[in-house]
Structure 1
Amino acid sequence: MADQSAAVEAVHPPDALLRVVNPALKFALKSPLGGPLSDFMLVSFTGRKSGKRYATPVSAHQLDGSLYVVLEAQWKYNFKGGAPVQVSHRGKTRTMRGELITDPAAVVDIVERLALSYGPKKAQRQMGMSFSGGRLPTRAEWEDAVGRLKIAAIKLS
């Protein structure tokens, strides 16, 4: 159950919806159809421990000319120490390197700047989060959320 006093909470679409939408997104993002879907990208990587291949549609975040994934999901740890990743974005697929960023101050800076650039409504949708009162969180609220939800960023370069 969500903490009612928390200013930021993670929000995920229902599993049933993801089972329908994710395969279509995976197909579209790897094709020329992916061009207009610039808010999303497909990250394909190999699990560090399992050796299994994964392809995950995620929101594409652009900041200072770099692409980022912002997430609290456990698969982020596949990028600890850096890892190769195939990124399908805007209809093109390229090999990149994903670097996990877990330093709280750095993550707070990234999420705060992204949210500010989007505005409250789009930020909630793009970042998979809900903000108390529909307003942008304060820096202190981001600091709480990053620590409590274990939010991290993956920088793709």
Structure 2
Amino acid sequence: MSTDAISSTPPRNPPKFLNNVMKFVLASPLHSIFSKSLLLLTFTGRKSGKSFTIPLGYRQDGNTIFLFTDHKWWKNLVGNAPVTLHLKGKQVSGTAEVIEDKEVTEKELQTFLLVNPNAARAYSVTMDAAGQPDPNQLRDAARRFMHIRIHLA
């Protein structure tokens, strides 16, 4: 048996009620309470053609937004899909880039957790006393999560 085995635990879904509350708050004048670490991502389903909006944690570096998910909706973003973000109280457009390179994902997830250490629990990563993520847990998380970059227009 390999020591590299990863739990196939299905992703945790936040309660629908909580997602709806976050969507309301992030799209309202009260957004500043959470908008430093959360945004709304809107995309179109590739099969259904329906519009979906979800709250997500993010990191921004210039005109690039970094997102991570362990849900299957990321497949809708393959092929540089156009997206809309509700970011810090403003509606902005961008293009999604799905990053499948797990080494890049690990590096970006580490940067994300250093900037947003309170998010570590959501990725099943513990931070040590010096504020560094556990390297084994980080590697496992990078293999479970998909990395998405949004390039703002």
Tell me if TM exceeds 0.5.
Answer: yes
Distance across 2 between alignment mates of 1:10 and 1:112: 22
Is the contact made by 1:36 and 1:90 (CA closer than 8 Å) also made in structure 2?
no
The structure where helix makes up a greater share of residues is: 1
Question: After the TM superposition, which of the residue ranges 63-72 and 84-93 deviates more from structure 2?
Answer: 63-72
Preserved CA contact (<8 Å) 1:100 1:152: yes
Residue 137 of structure 1 deviates from its aligned partner by: 1.7
Q: CA deviation at 1:115?
A: 1.6
How far does the alpha carbon of each residue in 1:24-54 deviate from its partner, in whole angstroms, 9 at most, with x for none? Answer: 2112222222133221111111011221110
* CA contact 1:34–1:91 (8 Å) conserved in 2: yes
**Structure 2 residue corresponding to 1:56, chosen from 54, 57, 69:** 54
Unaligned runs of 5+ residues in structure 2 are none
Cross-structure match for 2:69: 71
Distance 1:112 1:10 in 2: 22
1:96 is aligned to 2:94: yes
The aligned residue for residue 18 of structure 2 is 21
Provide closer, same or farther for how the CA distance between residues 60 and 145 of structure 1 changes in structure 2, counting only shifts above 3 A.
closer
Percent sequence identity over aligned pairs:
26
Aligned alpha-carbon RMSD (Å) = 2.7
> 1:144 matched to which residue of 2?
140
- Greater RCO (CA < 8 Å, at least 6 residues apart): 1
Q: How many residues align?
A: 141
Change (3 A) 1:94 1:64: closer
- Which residues of structure 1 form unaligned runs of 5+? none
TM-aligned CA deviation for residue 55 of structure 1: 0.7
